[in-house]
Chain A
Amino acid sequence: MPEKTFGNFTVEVDKSGYLADMDDWNEELAKEIAKEVGIALTDKHFEIIKFIREKIKSGESLSIRKIGKSGIVSIKEFYQLFPDGPLKKASLIAGVPKPAGCV
């Protein structure tokens, strides 16, 4: 597995650049990954990221629709918080694998 450096962290990533092991994740690392994709993380971002991590951990796959029904953000806000491909960017920052679904 290739390694990638985000700030002070060097972690293993998959071929798409997503964390190879979601347990390598921590909040400081998330901030560094976010910086790389041009996002400054707020508490709201973290709420969403944590929701994504919980869902992935429990074996669920995610969709824009599920994020919209999370009660944390509306779909509109989700697109504003993670512009240009929200589910992919949020998954990248959350340290979970690249979303594989079509919706």
Chain B
Amino acid sequence: MSEKIKKVSIICSKGTIDSVYAALILANGARMEGIEVDMFFTFFGLDAITKKKMDKLHVATVGNPALSMPGGLPFPTIIGMLPGVEAAVSVMIKKEVEKLDIPSVSEFLEIITASGGKIFACKLAVEMFKLKKEDLYNDLDGILTVGEFYKRAAGSQIIFI
């Protein structure tokens, strides 16, 4: 068997439910295996660590050809465009997630912090979205430049989502 992964650096660059959960589940799963974790949230991924937005993330109902109706039929983009549809679909997905005993984004972040995982925000994105430290997740481990991120990521596997 090949050598065990010691550390992963997970970059979350998107703010949709599916992308954010992929990043959170990979991070938590790594900690469960005893793998060290850094999470780096950038661009729209910052929504996942922005207090006002973290539990209100949406799934894209337009431009998402993989989306299907509950029965499996294709989800017509023209319906996804209607007001309220994206919010309703997002609520439905969050309910399905809850059924699988998967926590909300805010609780998931707390679990990862308690597990010893580190949560970072991208400095450039924070400035671009004009966010302040108090707008972000309470237990944030810091706001990093790209250079600082790479320095911390030395020797780790980097995962971009």
Contacts and interface: CB of A to CB of B under 8 A. Distances in A.
A87 B32 contact: yes
Contact of B32 (A64, A68, A74, A76): A64
A98 B38 CA distance: 26
A103 interface: yes
A17 B125 CA distance: 46
Contacts of A74: 114
A86 B32 contact: yes
B116 interface: yes
A79 B116 CA distance: 8
**Interface size band for B:** 10 to 19
A71 B114 CA distance: 15
Interface in A66-85: 66, 68, 74-76, 79, 83-85
B101 A76 contact: no
B90 interface: no
Contact of B101 (A75, A86, A103): A103
Contact of B34 (A64, A66, A75, A85): A85
A63 B114 contact: no
A65 B115 CA distance: 11
A64 to B, nearest CB: 6
B3 interface: no
Given A65-B101, A66-B101, A83-B34, A103 B28 contact: yes
**Interface size band for A:** 10 to 19
B115 A75 contact: yes
Contact of A65 (B25, B29, B111, B116): B111
Contacts of A75: 111, 114-115
Given A63-B101, A102-B25, A103-B101, A68 B33 contact: no
B25 A76 contact: no
A102 B24 CA distance: 11
A31 interface: no
Nearest to B115: A79
Interface of A: 63-66, 68, 74-76, 79, 83-88, 101-103
Interface of B: 25, 28-29, 31-34, 100-103, 107, 111, 114-116
Can you list the 9 inter-chain pairs with the closest CB atoms, starting with the nearest?
Answer: A84-B34, A75-B114, A85-B34, A76-B114, A85-B33, A79-B115, A103-B102, A63-B101, A65-B103
